[in-house]
Amino acid sequence: MKTVLIIGVGQFGSHIAKRMAELRCEVMAVDLNEDRINEILPYVTNARIGDSTNEDFLRSLGVDNYDVCIVALGGLFQSSLETTSLLSELGAKQIISRATNDVQMKFLLRNGADEVVYPEKQMALRIATKYASDSILDFIQLDNNYSIYEMKVPKEWYGKTLSQIDVRKKYKVNILTVKRKREVFIPSFDTVMQTDDIVFAIGEIRDIQRCFRI
């Protein structure tokens, strides 16, 4: 069971807090706004009203005892930056901070964040990629190069085995799983592609586009 400190329980932070609580994490929620704390309290292990830019207040939380500290202050960048820096100075084990643009991300990484989440950009990329083609059903970005795509199988694949299609050699794309009606399975080289099959493929976007004729 992981212990998590979440600083800032606006819309973004509260979603994280509730989900982590559902996953049986011990969650401490912190916010300056009393109403937000009252709203989140039924869902988390504990909650406190306080200013995360105050070193004495942060120290009183024992930040070095938490497995993960998440700074979800979002629009309050100065407070987010100060909080991130203080958490680092106080010995937090792992710091995840939220950014709303690339400049903020760079500053947070330079001032103690181990990882920066950029929900607006990540959601924009996901939506843009998903709706750019009827063949793409979903999209998960892994890094700047590789992503996992949920794809409709092209008609040219129907009745052919994966070894015949050989997308790994031709396009540098790997097929991870196949979804056939209600069944999801890991395919073998002799798996025959059928009408309405959906595959989960990993690769770079240009290779995916060539492979699936997008």
Instruction: Give 24-74 pLDDT, tens digit per residue.
Output: 999 999 999 999 999 999 999 999 999 999 999 999 999 999 999 999 996
CATH code of the domain made up of 3-117: 3.40.50.720
Name the residue among 147, 138, 153, 161 with its Cα closest to residue 211: 153
Q: Does domain 122-211 have CATH number 3.30.70.1450?
A: yes
Output the pLDDT for position 68.
95
- The first and second tokens of residue 76, run together, are 């309050």
146-152/136-141 β-pairing? antiparallel
- DSSP for 180-202, please give it: ETTEEE---TTPBP-TT-EEEEE
Output the pLDDT for position 83.
95
3-7/68-71 β-pairing? parallel
Per DSSP, the three-state class of 152 is strand
Sites in the chain below the pLDDT cut of 50: none
- State whether the Cα torsion 107-110-111-117 is positive or negative: positive
Please state, in angstroms and rounded to a whole number, the distance separating the CA atoms of residues 129 and 133.
7
Output the pLDDT for position 209.
86
Find how far residue 77's CA is from the centre of its chain.
20
What ranges in 23-96 are assigned the alpha helix state H? 34-40, 55-60, 77-89
Domain ranges of the chain: 3-117, 122-211
Output the pLDDT for position 202.
93
Please state, in angstroms and rounded to a whole number, the distance separating the CA atoms of residues 69 and 2.
11
Please state, in angstroms and rounded to a whole number, the distance separating the CA atoms of residues 114 and 120.
19
Output the pLDDT for position 125.
75
